[in-house]
Amino acid sequence: MAEEAQRRRGRGGGGAARRAARSAVSFETARFIERNIPNFEVLTEEALEIIETNAETVLEEIGVNFVENPAALARWRAAGADVEGERVRIPRGLARQLCKTAPATYTQHARNPDRTVQVGGKSLVLAPVYGPPFVRDATAGRRYATMEDFRKFVKLGYMSKWLHHSGGTVCEPTDLPVNKRHLDMLHAHMTLSDKPFMGSVTEPSRAQDSVEMCEVLFGKEFVQQNTVMTSLININSPMTFDDVMMGSLEVYARNNQACIISPFIVGGAMAPVSVAGTLTQVMAECLAGIAYSQLIRAGAPVVMGAFVTSIDMNSGAPTFGTPEAAHITYGAGQLARRMGLPYRSAGSFCGSKLPDAQAAYETSNSLNMGLLSGVNFMLHSCGWLEGGLVSSFEKFVMDADQLGTLHHLAQGVSMDESAQALDAIREVGPGGHYLGCAHTQEHFKTAFWKSDLLDYKPFETWEDEGARDTQALASLRVEKMLGDYQQPPLDPAIDEALTDFIVRKKAQEPDSFM
Amino acid sequence: MAEEAQRRRGRGGGGAARRAARSAVSFETARFIERNIPNFEVLTEEALEIIETNAETVLEEIGVNFVENPAALARWRAAGADVEGERVRIPRGLARQLCKTAPATYTQHARNPDRTVQVGGKSLVLAPVYGPPFVRDATAGRRYATMEDFRKFVKLGYMSKWLHHSGGTVCEPTDLPVNKRHLDMLHAHMTLSDKPFMGSVTEPSRAQDSVEMCEVLFGKEFVQQNTVMTSLININSPMTFDDVMMGSLEVYARNNQACIISPFIVGGAMAPVSVAGTLTQVMAECLAGIAYSQLIRAGAPVVMGAFVTSIDMNSGAPTFGTPEAAHITYGAGQLARRMGLPYRSAGSFCGSKLPDAQAAYETSNSLNMGLLSGVNFMLHSCGWLEGGLVSSFEKFVMDADQLGTLHHLAQGVSMDESAQALDAIREVGPGGHYLGCAHTQEHFKTAFWKSDLLDYKPFETWEDEGARDTQALASLRVEKMLGDYQQPPLDPAIDEALTDFIVRKKAQEPDSFM
């Protein structure tokens, strides 16, 4: 079936695909960000060396655990590590040496080549929120997420101009069996959007299913020769690599598919309360995880990740958009660049229960720091609410709008003769105004970034229209976008092959909600 | 009267002052920020040189207007400028040469020496919103500001931990005569707070009143030898210096009092639509204004200012927290540092009508960029709403809380042995947690910045408590702060002398509301 689909797909697709393409509405998507501004660096050369040295000490003296994974232990032993039970102690320099085969940048292909992204170097790829079991909107409030919610988020992501990536678990479809929902989630990304996406990591077999579905979508040979997924492999900080995540990593690395290898840290709980201590642990964990990916397949694409936030020591609640999280994010970016690896961090993080001012303060703090810290892949860049428990429809479109500011900031400052505008200053002179001058007429359409959502109206107009706050404007936008949505064209044979694959897979085992 | 007050004040104040001091509650105020992090720089050396060269071209070939101010024209002529009507053309290099006598940093004294601030170098002094004719709160909505509102904002500023400066026109008390309200505003700053403050600039005579009231408060000799006010002198961009603002500048400079000399620019209206063009005009205007301050008194303290934002070209509305404003703010910081002058820019800018998510996105964008661009004096750092038309009570305390993040960000990353936390990582090991370890116990109280306002509670608790959004939490905080307010002690003789001064001044002319 997969082969047939691949054959039918060919160059330019079949007649049905061409018909679909002719009638489809195209939604504009910005090219991934290529920074033309410097990175912000908080750590000195000396500080970076201390952290790197300490990270090697952690690996050599304390070590990391690879849990319930005898094959991993055997691989480490063969590579020269000291293995004792499940503890792997890695001689100084070995992990860093192994990491050297990981590429500095890679290309993740989308089924629409215009949506293909580069990850690494000066690029920044923006992907939506990942993982929340709940959703919220202004009308129905907070509730468990369903597959229907999931599809809506994929549609919103597809239509969001500043979002380059469709993401993965945009919310957890809790109405579907745990052991089968990955099939429906992937199907939604593959068919409702044409942007790049992420694979399943909740079981190695589901990672394998993800690879096979990609083989149906892209063709088997294409998948083996190209990266078509970037998936999220969390490290159980401190210093624990579990068999589920490592098993999924093994599947992806073997198939040349990219993984973000990412400590998941709430500072003070899973890492020391200090920035330098947390960075040391992040560095050690990333070294071990990335080295392991290269033991599976040298050259497999990986992203050095850091999901790090602080904690409210009174309540134990994770806190977001905090200065300590910023320090760690800036510092981890410096460490990743010294490794020559793509870097994942930051996002639309907030602890707020509502898409209110708290949510926006915390989110903006994190988005801005993400851009300036040199992040190459930003998961959770829109839609995150309530510490990641909730995917918010309104916040999704609010954040997605703000992502436009990152695109324009990253462009840097043009210094060409027209931008210098000496003629305009001469034309207008002291006491004049620039609204009608030739330079303004020529450039006003592109000169300033403009929100598609926020309120710029005069007070009286705004009041007459109902004195709406941002959440109310966002609700209207969500409704309008979902109403305007049109599915991107896909060869019906591929669509059918995907459905067949899913039906077959679902029939192979009973539903499980555990 | 002033002399008597000064005499009575002496060292340690009189008995009444001592009694007041004993019974007063002290509200904690953080020391002004001293950056231990680098500045973010978007312009290359070459770009900076182009802008500086073009700015000199503007001054030499186009020139600036000094309006209705024959004395200013005479001063410029004497200094070597080419004066034609009110147009002043400044030979290349002359303005920059004149600026060299302006100090790189200065001290602004507060009546409470603990609140005295340094402006310049690595410091960042935070002052509240300035100028709105309206106020808003959640209960009474939007309305013209009164003197009672003004007093409330001064009280909130006094009690705000992260705010170093009491500011100036925290809102415009529209219920008082235009020609007398400056007296009541200054009296409020002097008596309801002990933080440093700003003087009046709406008429040169009112600047003179400000100086004289400071002589009552601080003693005449102290004022002549020290800077006790930093006041805001706007340039009427493009390239126009009006007699009211210049007259006020003349009073302050002559009395060794500091002025922020600041183009007021909505890009596309008062300056070119391009970043490089706007920076060129900002540089030219600051060079001319600062040079003029030094013609009045060489060595008078000044701050190079840039109030710059973008415009929505559809509606003509100013827009805030935009990427173009960020580029200009970063660039102007670089230009100010090359001038060796303190720098003023950024603030809690937003266009939103409500203290909602839009307000917070835009504000955070601006506050973060303000810190990283090397701003030394940030006016409008809290309370700004609706493009500066409104001072918002809720947003004042919301922003003032966020200013804490800037303090912690600016501290940079500690790399001492304790911060490296290797012993903690060793103690906890793979799979453990840090919540109870010795390192966490020792450091948890100070490790992470913590909001005094935002919601960190579990969802269920938050819901039980009324599912409040940030504005609702802020309303409660405003109410509580105003309830808890206690006036800082002041020698009753000084208080009486200030009142006498005001009564005498008010009797000298009829009320005017024009």
Give the tokens for residue A492: 């019906």
Task: Pick the range with the lowest mean pLDDT from A460-474, B6-20, B42-56.
Answer: B6-20
Beta strands at B343-344 and B302-305: parallel, antiparallel or unpaired: parallel
Half-sphere exposure of A158 (CA within 13 A, CB side): 26
- Cα–Cα distance for residue pair B104/B120, rounded to 1 Å: 6
Q: B9 in helix, strand or coil?
A: helix
- Cα–Cα distance for residue pair A415/A123, rounded to 1 Å: 22
What percent of chain A has a predicted confidence (pLDDT) above 90?
Answer: 92
Question: Contact B434/A272, CB-based, under 8 Å?
Answer: yes
pLDDT score for A314: 82
pLDDT at residue B22 greater than cutoff 60: no
Cβ-contact B58, A425 below 8 angstroms: yes
Closest by Cβ to B449, choosing from A324, A352, A455: A324
pLDDT at residue B1 greater than cutoff 90: no
pLDDT score for A337: 98
Number of helices (H) and strands (E), helices first, in chain A? 20, 19
Name every residue whose Cβ is closer than 8 Å to that of residue A402 and which is 6 or more positions away in sequence.
A363, A364, A367, A382, A451, B361
pLDDT score for B314: 82
Q: B426 in helix, strand or coil?
A: helix
pLDDT score for B27: 86
Q: B90 in helix, strand or coil?
A: coil
Give the tokens for residue A193: 């959007």
Question: Contact B268/A434, CB-based, under 8 Å?
Answer: yes
- Give the mean model confidence (pLDDT) for residues A42-64: 98
pLDDT score for B61: 98
Q: What is the mean pLDDT of chain A?
A: 95
Contacts A–B by Cβ distance under 8 A: 399
pLDDT score for B8: 41
pLDDT at residue A316 greater than cutoff 90: no
How many Å is the Cα radius of gyration of chain B? Answer: 24
pLDDT tens by residue, A263-289? 999 999 999 999 999 999 999 999 999
Exposure string for B214-224, b = 16+ CB within 10 A, e = fewer: bbbbbbeeebe
Q: In chain B, what residues touch A270 (CB-CB under 8 Å)? A: 433-434
CA distances from A263 to A233, A278, A286, A344, B176 (A): 9, 10, 7, 11, 60
Q: How far is B43 from chain A (nearest CA, A)?
A: 7
> What number of other Cβ atoms are within 10 A of residue B178's Cβ?
16
> What number of other Cβ atoms are within 10 A of residue B511's Cβ?
10
Q: A84 in helix, strand or coil?
A: strand
Q: What is the DSSP letter of B441?
A: H
- Give the mean model confidence (pLDDT) for residues A242-268: 97
pLDDT score for B7: 41
Question: Contact B449/A40, CB-based, under 8 Å?
Answer: no
Q: In chain B, what residues touch A267 (CB-CB under 8 Å)? A: 447-448
Cβ-contact B184, B148 below 8 angstroms: no
pLDDT band at A16 (very low <50, low <70, confident <90, very high): low
Closest by Cβ to B434, choosing from A268, A369, A398: A268
Question: Contact A368/B363, CB-based, under 8 Å?
Answer: no
Q: How far is B280 from chain A (nearest CA, A)?
A: 8
Q: CA nearest B161: which of B445, B406, B491?
A: B406
Cβ-contact B104, B342 below 8 angstroms: yes
Q: Which residue of A has its CA nearest to B426?
A: A62
pLDDT score for B316: 86
Give the tokens for residue A118: 């580069």
Task: Pick the range with the lowest mean pLDDT from A17-31, A37-51, B193-207.
Answer: A17-31
pLDDT at residue A20 greater than cutoff 70: no
- Cα–Cα distance for residue pair A286/A271, rounded to 1 Å: 14
Q: What is the mean pLDDT of chain B?
A: 95
The pTM for the full model equals 0.95
pLDDT tens by residue, A424-472? 999 999 999 999 899 999 998 889 999 999 999 999 999 999 999 999 9
- CA-based torsion, B34, B40, B45, B47: positive or negative: negative
Sheet strand arrangement including B240-241: B82-84, B87-89, B64-66, B240-241
Sheet strand arrangement including A390-392: A141-144, A134-137, A390-392, A384-385
- Cα–Cα distance for residue pair A85/A64, rounded to 1 Å: 11
pLDDT tens by residue, A325-346? 999 999 999 999 999 999 999 9
Give the tokens for residue A437: 């001058």
Q: What is the DSSP letter of A126?
A: E
Cβ-contact B230, B108 below 8 angstroms: yes
Burial class of residue B148 in the structure, from the number of CB atoms within 10 Å of its CB (0-12 exposed, 13-18 middle, 19+ buried): exposed
Q: Residues, chain B, total?
A: 514
Cβ-contact B371, B347 below 8 angstroms: no
pLDDT at residue A13 greater than cutoff 70: no
Q: How far is B492 from chain A (nearest CA, A)?
A: 42
Give me the residues paired with residue B119 across strands.
Answer: B106
pLDDT score for A19: 53
pLDDT band at A5 (very low <50, low <70, confident <90, very high): very low
Question: Contact A42/B38, CB-based, under 8 Å?
Answer: yes
Give phi and psi for B298, each to the nearest 5.
Answer: -60, 130
Question: Contact B448/A65, CB-based, under 8 Å?
Answer: no
pLDDT at residue B128 greater than cutoff 60: yes
Closest by Cβ to B415, choosing from A47, A63, A439: A47
pLDDT score for B5: 42
The residue to which tokens 């480490």 are assigned: A76
- Give the mean model confidence (pLDDT) for residues A119-143: 98
pLDDT at residue B13 greater than cutoff 50: no
Beta strands at A384-385 and A390-392: parallel, antiparallel or unpaired: antiparallel
Closest by Cβ to A425, choosing from B280, B354, B386: B280
- Cα–Cα distance for residue pair B329/B323, rounded to 1 Å: 10
Q: What is the DSSP letter of B469?
A: -
Task: Pick the range with the lowest mean pLDDT from B171-185, B329-343, B433-447.
Answer: B433-447
- Cα–Cα distance for residue pair B136/B128, rounded to 1 Å: 15
**Composition of chain A by helix, strand, coil, percent to 5:** 50, 15, 40
Closest by Cβ to A50, choosing from B269, B369, B420: B420
pLDDT tens by residue, B248-302? 999 999 999 999 999 999 999 999 999 999 999 999 999 999 999 999 999 999 9
Task: Pick the range with the lowest mean pLDDT from A52-61, A118-127, A304-313, B176-185.
Answer: A304-313
Question: Contact B322/A405, CB-based, under 8 Å?
Answer: yes
Q: How far is B383 from chain A (nearest CA, A)?
A: 13
pLDDT score for B20: 53
Question: Contact A430/B87, CB-based, under 8 Å?
Answer: yes
Q: What is the DSSP letter of A239?
A: T
Name every residue whose Cβ is closer than 8 Å to that of residue A4 and which is 6 or more positions away in sequence.
A493, A497
pLDDT score for B26: 66
Question: Contact B419/A274, CB-based, under 8 Å?
Answer: yes
pLDDT at residue A481 greater than cutoff 90: yes
Q: In chain B, what residues touch A315 (CB-CB under 8 Å)? A: 456-458
Cis status of the peptide bond prior to A238, with omega within 30 of 0:
yes
Give the tokens for residue A59: 């690996």
Ordered alpha helix ranges (H), A354-434: 357-372, 393-410, 417-420, 422-428
